[in-house]
């Protein structure tokens, strides 16, 4: 598989040198359900590679709690734009279950990349994968009505419906809990 379209950056971690380089800066962490891994107004200084559990990213709009993203096993939770641009996060990240994760700090990644430019490839693939995921998400939001969005999500991430309160799924789908309930009822 050629470098530009290697989709899964974790493949590169089989290269033990790169794996070791990153493993050195990872810290094992546990968070209890309800804990905020990142809070509005703070700069998101860490990435969290989820080992177990599930998180959601959310914010408040006119007192309504709106979820914009979920992360679960093998995925990486962060407020990317805050992390990269060093600006205050508009979002919170909350543990919806007890969460185990490997934490990596911005500054440590920084140093690894400076010392080992060859790790940049991993960085690119990592960001590329984030980007591909977001393209899929935006295409879903843009091209489909409420019911289609629901069905897509049910097909793609059925586990969310087992693990996450429907109200969060509703706001993630950009609909009200009432509308989600009616969509689900009409089956």
Is 177 an interacting residue with respect to DNA (CB under 7 A)? yes
Choices 3-11, 109-117, 122-130, 176-184 (CB under 7 A): range interacting with DNA: 176-184
Give the gyration radius of the chain's Cα atoms.
18
Q: Which is nearer to a copy of itself, 8 or 52 (CB)?
A: 8
Q: Please select the residue that binds DNA; options are 86, 115, 118, 182, rule is CB under 7 A.
A: 182
Q: Please select the residue that binds DNA; options are 15, 107, 176, 187, rule is CB under 7 A.
A: 176
Report 129-148 residues binding DNA (CB under 7 A): 145-147
In the list DNA, a copy of itself, none, the entry touching 26 (Cβ below 5 to 8 angstroms by class) is none
- Reading phi first (left if > 0) and then psi (alpha if -120 to 50, else beta), residue 74 is in left
Give the helix ranges, DSSP H, for the chain: 16-23, 80-85, 106-115, 120-143, 146-156, 159-163, 166-172, 177-185
In the list a copy of itself, DNA, none, the entry touching 178 (Cβ below 5 to 8 angstroms by class) is DNA
Tell me how crowded residue 50 is: count the other CB atoms within 10 A of its CB: 20
108: Cβ–Cβ under 8 A, 6 or more apart, which residues? 25
- Residue 96's alpha-carbon distances to 51, 69, 82, 127, in angstroms, are 14, 12, 21, 25
For binding to a copy of itself (CB under 8 A), which residues are involved?
A: 2-5, 7, 61, 66, 68, 80-81, 84-86, 106, 109-110, 113-114, 117-118, 120-121, 123-124, 127-128, 130-132, 134-139, 141-143, 174
For binding to DNA (CB under 7 A), which residues are involved?
A: 145-147, 165-167, 174-182, 184-185
């Amino acid at each position: 598989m050629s470098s530009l379209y290697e989709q899964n950056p974790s493949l590169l971690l089989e290269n033990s040198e790169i794996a070791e380089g990153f493993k050195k800066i990872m810290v094992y962490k546990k968070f209890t359900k309800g804990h905020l891994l990142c809070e509005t107004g703070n700069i998101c200084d860490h990435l969290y590679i989820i080992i177990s559990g599930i998180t959601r990213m959310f914010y408040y709009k006119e007192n309504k709690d709106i979820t914009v993203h979920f992360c679960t096993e093998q995925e990486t939770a962060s407020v990317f734009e805050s992390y990269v641009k060093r600006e205050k996060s508009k979002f919170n990240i909350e543990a919806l279950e007890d969460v185990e994760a490997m934490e990596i700090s911005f500054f440590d990644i920084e140093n690894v990349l400076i010392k080992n430019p060859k790790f940049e490839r991993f960085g690119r693939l990592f960001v590329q994968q984030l980007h591909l995921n977001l393209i899929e998400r935006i295409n879903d939001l843009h091209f489909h009505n409420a019911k289609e969005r629901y069905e897509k999500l049910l097909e793609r991430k059925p586990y969310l419906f087992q693990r996450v309160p429907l109200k969060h799924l509703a706001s993630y789908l950009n609909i009200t809990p009432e509308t989600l309930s009616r969509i689900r009822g009409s089956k």
